Each structure stands twice: as structure tokens, then as C-alpha cells.
Amino acid sequence: MSLPRGSQVLLAGLQRRATQILGELRGLGAEHAELRLEHGQSLTVSVRDGALEQLAEAQSLSLSLRLVCGGRVATVTSSDLRPAALSPLLTRALELARLAKEDPQAEPPAPRLLARRWPELDLFDATIRRLGADRAIRLALLAEAAAMQADPRVSSSGGASCSRTVSHALLATSGGFVGPFAGTRVGLRAQVVAEDAAGGRRSGHYWSGGRHLASLEPPEAVGREAASRALRSLGAAPIATGVYPVVFSAEAAAGVIGLVSHCLLGDAVARQRSYLARRLGTRVASPLVTIVDDPLRARGPASRGFDGEGLATRRRVLVRRGELQGFLLDTASARRLDLPPTGSAGGGGGQVHPSASNFYLQPGRRGPRALLAGVRRGLFVRATLGFGFDPGTGHFSRGVEGVLIEDGQLTRPVAEVTISRNLDELLRGIDAVANDFELRTAIASPSFRVDEMTVAGR
């Protein structure tokens, strides 16, 4: 699908400006430069208690760039691209570069590694502008109303919002790479609080969205799901401290898989700040675990045809049936580890760093209910709270909200407890993976079960 005329004009304008800036940097004495220009247009509406609460619209244009001068690197970001404002900043960046150490790894990637063509990933919905302010308000109002009417215990609205963004970006390097990007996103979100007779309060929220208008669920469904999330945890209480089998819902499981992605990032690995740094080719998880990074999924939330340095991207299996097969590397970390780069540079322009794209645990064959079967007394985790994780050691501990599992059934809601176990042991302890997989977010997972974790509670 070709881009609409407006997008083509915009990208051509970004390319002209990029060429000017690269020319100026060359004139100032930079040997190499990579820059990214990003143009965004967004509309966000929010409603609460049946009335419009906020209408925000914006257009933005920003620059981030990395330059190499005398083998030394400096970075620049700016939202002020007028030549009169930008030129002094570029001059200053060249001065700053002198403070940096000479960095042989800062050389640009070899030209033969640069992407020349990339697949069409269907990330742009040309019809997205049909979602104007009026329609966005209507969708948000419908979602809120559905949430409030779902149950008498739903006591107050945290508001509903609807947004769309249109992004255009251009990555250009002094080595001759020019990579245009165009993408759209749309989202609808509702949030409510439910109260029970005992005065307990729980909030629930739900978000639906994606690259295309068609990915929006009906507003009524979004509202009802938000309400059901608040209702299902009413009356939650801690359970006794002990060792339990734990089933992670797909959403909570994605949080765990996200931690694995941090431990596979090239800079963490090269600096020995990941417990997986020295484990390539060894078993790091149960044989049920296969983890994939796939930047080429059509309509994917983090899809990219080329990476932040202009390298070609491809689908990679990082953990195959429990065995660690690779890391996520940009050029600099690949050189430090003496491995080939993997096209995993994120950011682009100034702040290049290894990053995951669409990163997920491969689904299994069993339905999610099957994970509960045979669990005599366990914990089903719906959501986690907190950030406690040390990538260097794998120590992992989180607050959780969930449900007690008794004799294979979900019985009563649980909150105010923590779960903990070292991530290394946790991944080896995965004894079932379900098939309820959906790539709604860049990091995604089906639900899975872990044989045991320490639960701290009453």
C-alpha cells in the first residue's frame, strides 16, 4: 500500500531538512552523523461523568542526532529546528565531543549491512483522520457509560479517553542511508472504581487499540471490560505466606517476559549487568519456553523494517525450547561482544541503544483454563505492582493482585501479597504455557504456570 500524498510531501520535507543538517555537520568537521527527524500529530479527548473534560491537539517536530568527530561521539536533541537556533547547538555538540574518549566502536556500520529495501508492514491507516474530535468524544462517552452501567457496585468514573496519533519520521546518515517511516496509532481507554458494601474500593481499567481504526474494540466492550476488572478484585485480601504454584495471566506474564528482554539487551550483556551474559548456548528456561523477537509483523506495535542505525531487521528466535540462542545487539554492543549486529538498534539518530521490537513468548497448545487444572492450592496473578528486579542477579519480587486457586478453581480475590523467586529459577520452573496469545502490546505473552514461588502475605 502506498502512502497518501500528504505523507509523501511531509517525508520529502523531512528529507530536505535532514540533508541540510548533514551538510552543515560535514562543514563543521564531523566525520559521520546519524539523525532522526520525527513529526507527530495527535488528538486526545477525555470525558468524565458524561461530559467533555479535555480536548488536546498537537503537532510536533523534533531532531535527535549523533555525530562522530575525531573518533569521539556526542549527541544532540532539539525541538527548535530553525537554523538560527540549531546551528549554535551543532557547534556546541562538536565541542562537547572533544570531552569524550576516542571510541573505535563508534564507527558507523559497514555500508553492506544497511537495509536497501524493507517489507511493507501495514503500520499506516490512511483513514485514521476520520476519527475527528466529535467521533472520539462519542466513543469515549459510550465507553464510559457502558462501564458505569455495567453493575450497581461501579461507584465512580475515572474517565474515558480516546486518542489518535500520526507519526512520520526519517532516519538519515552521512553514510547515505535514508529510511522513511510512517505509522498511526489509535486507542480507547476507560477507567472506573467499584465499591462493595464493606467499603472496599478497587479500580479497573481497560485499553483497546492498535495501528488501525479497525483494531478498536466496540466502546461498549471497552467499558464493560474496565468495569469487570474493578469488580473482580472487590473484597481482595492477603493469603497466608507460603510456597505456591503460580499461574500468570497473559498480561502479568508479559511483564515477566519483558524482564527477560532487559537481560538480553546488548549493553547490559556487554557490561555484565545481565545474569544471562555468559549463558549463550546453555539452558536458561524450561523446554516449553521459546522466545521470539519479530520486528516484521504486519501492524505490530513495535514493527520496524530497518533499525535505528539503518540495518535490516528480521525475525529471531532468542530462546529455543529453553536454550539461549542470541542477544539483542546494536552495532556498538555487537562490536564489544565480537558478535554480528542483529538489527536491534532502537531510538535512532541520537540515542541509539539496543531494544526489543515485538518480543513474545511463543504460545503453547492448551487453553488457559487447563493451567488451573490439577492445582490444589495456588495463586493466579492478574496484575503486578512495583519494579523490583535486578538484571545482574535475576532477583525478582513484585506486589500482585490475583485470585486464589483451590482444587483447580478460581475462588477468592487476593491482594497485598508479593511473589518472589529468582528469574533464572522462575523460567526453568515454567511447567505449562497456554494458547491465549495476542500481540496487543510490544512485549506480549500467553498465560503460563510456574511450579512454585514464594508468596509473602498474612
Partner 1 sequence: MRGPATPRQCPTRRRRLIDSKIVDSPSPAGLPAIDANLVGRLLGAALAAGGEYAELFFEHRSSLHLALEDGRVRSVGAGVDAGVGIRVFAGGAVGFAYAESFEAGPMLAAARMAARVARARSKAGAPRWRAAAPQVPATAPARVAVSPAEVAALLRRVDRAARAASSLVVRVDASLAAVQREIVVAASDAPMLRDVQPLLRLSVAAVAERGGRREAGSTGGGGRFGLEYFAQRSAESFGVEAARIAVVNLDARAAPAGSLPVVLAPGDAGIWLHEAVGHGLEADFIRKRSSSYSGREGQRVASPRVTLVDDARVPGGRGSLGVDDEGVVPTRHLLIDRGVLRGLLHDRVSARSAGVAPAGAGRRQSFRDVPLPRMSNTWLAAGEDDPEDIVRSVRLGVYAARFSGGQVNIASGDFVFAVTEGYLIEDGRLTAPLRGVHLIGNGPAALAGVSMVGPDLEMSEGTWTCTKEGQNVPVGVGMPTVKIDRLTVGGTAIAEGPR
Stretch that binds partner 1, among 318-326, 372-380, 388-396, 440-448 (CB under 8 A): 388-396
Q: Does 393 bind partner 1 (CB under 8 A)?
A: yes
Residues 75-104 within binding reach of partner 1 (CB under 8 A): 75-80, 82, 85, 89, 92-93, 95-97, 99-101, 103
Q: Is 365 in the site for partner 1 (CB under 8 A)?
A: no
Q: How far apart are CA 457 and CA 416, in angstroms?
A: 7
Burial of residue 232 (CB within 10 Å: 0-12, 13-18, 19+) is: middle
Site for partner 1 in 128-157 (CB under 8 A): 133, 155-157
Contact between 445 and 253 under an 8 Å Cβ cutoff? The reply is yes
Residue choice 24, 31, 53, 220 for contact with partner 1 (CB under 8 A): 53
Q: Which CB atom, from 2 or from 79, has the smaller least distance to partner 1?
A: 79
Residue number with CB closer to partner 1 (133 or 317): 133
Q: Which of 225, 228, 230 is nearest to 204 (CA)?
A: 230
- Alpha-carbon torsion (75, 81, 84, 85), positive or negative: negative
Under the criterion CB under 8 A, does residue 416 sit at the interface with partner 1?
yes
Closest to 350 in 3D by CA, of 105, 17, 77: 77
Q: What span, in angstroms and rounded, lies between the C-alpha atoms of 381 and 419?
A: 9
Contact call for residues 426 and 448 (beta carbons, < 8 A): no
Q: Is 9 in a helix, a strand, or coil?
A: helix
Q: Report the C-alpha gap between 42 and 344 in whole angstroms.
A: 27
Kindly tell me which of 1 and 84 has the beta carbon lying closer to partner 1: 84
We find the least distance from the C-beta atom of residue 339 to partner 1, in angstroms, to be 19
Q: List the one residue from 20, 119, 386, 412 that touches partner 1 (CB under 8 A).
A: 386
How far, in whole angstroms, is CA 60 from its chain's centroid?
A: 22
Closest to 143 measured CA to CA, from 90, 77, 219: 219
- Out of 135, 366, 395, 440, name the contact with partner 1 by CB under 8 A: 395
Pick from 17, 32, 36, 48: which binds partner 1 (CB under 8 A)? 48
Rounded Cα–Cα distance for residues 370 and 354 (Å) = 37
Annotate 420-435 with DSSP letters as a single string.
Answer: E--HHHHHHTEEEEBS
Residue 201 interacts with partner 1 (CB under 8 A): yes or no: yes
Which residue of 30, 35, 37, 73 would you call a contact of partner 1, by CB under 8 A? 73
Sign of CA dihedral 348, 351, 354, 357: negative
Select from 108, 109, 159, 343 the one that contacts partner 1 (CB under 8 A). Answer: 159
The distance of closest approach from Cβ of residue 2 to partner 1 in the complex, given in angstroms and rounded to an integer, is: 29
Residue closer to partner 1, measured from CB, 218 or 235: 235
The interface mask with partner 1, positions 233-262, x = CB under 8 A, is x--x-x-xxxx-------------------
Helix or strand (DSSP H, E) at 18: helix 5-28
Site string for partner 1, 3-22 (x = CB under 8 A): --------------------
Q: Let me know: does 3 contact 182? Beta carbons within 8 Å.
A: yes
**Which is nearest to 34 in space by CA: 112, 117, 119, 106?**
106
Phi then psi for 351, rounded to 5 degrees? -100, 65
Q: Which of residues 298-327 bind partner 1 (CB under 8 A)?
A: none
Please choose, from the candidates 192, 275, 263, 267, the residue with its C-alpha nearest in 3D space to the C-alpha of residue 234.
192
Please tell me whether residue 172 binds partner 1 under the rule CB under 8 A. no
For residue 54, state whether it binds partner 1 (rule: CB under 8 A). Answer: yes
Cβ proximity to partner 1: between 1 and 51 the closer is 51
Each residue 261-290 as x (binds partner 1 by CB under 8 A) or -, in order, gives ----------xxx-----------------
Cell of 149: 452501567
Query: What minimum distance in Å lies between the beta carbon of 168 and partner 1?
Result: 15
Q: Is 457 in the site for partner 1 (CB under 8 A)?
A: yes
Q: Which is nearer to partner 1, 187 or 408 (CB)?
A: 187
Consecutive H or E run containing 139: helix 133-149
- Cβ proximity to partner 1: between 43 and 434 the closer is 43
Quick one: which of 2, 27, 51, 116 contacts partner 1 (CB under 8 A)?
Answer: 51
- Candidates 33, 146, 246, 419; binder of partner 1 (CB under 8 A) is 419
- Residues 108-127, mask of contacts with partner 1 (x by CB under 8 A): --------------------
> Locate cell 475515572: which residue?
158
The total number of residues written for the chain in this structure: 458
Using CB under 8 A as the binding rule, whether residue 200 contacts partner 1 is answered as yes
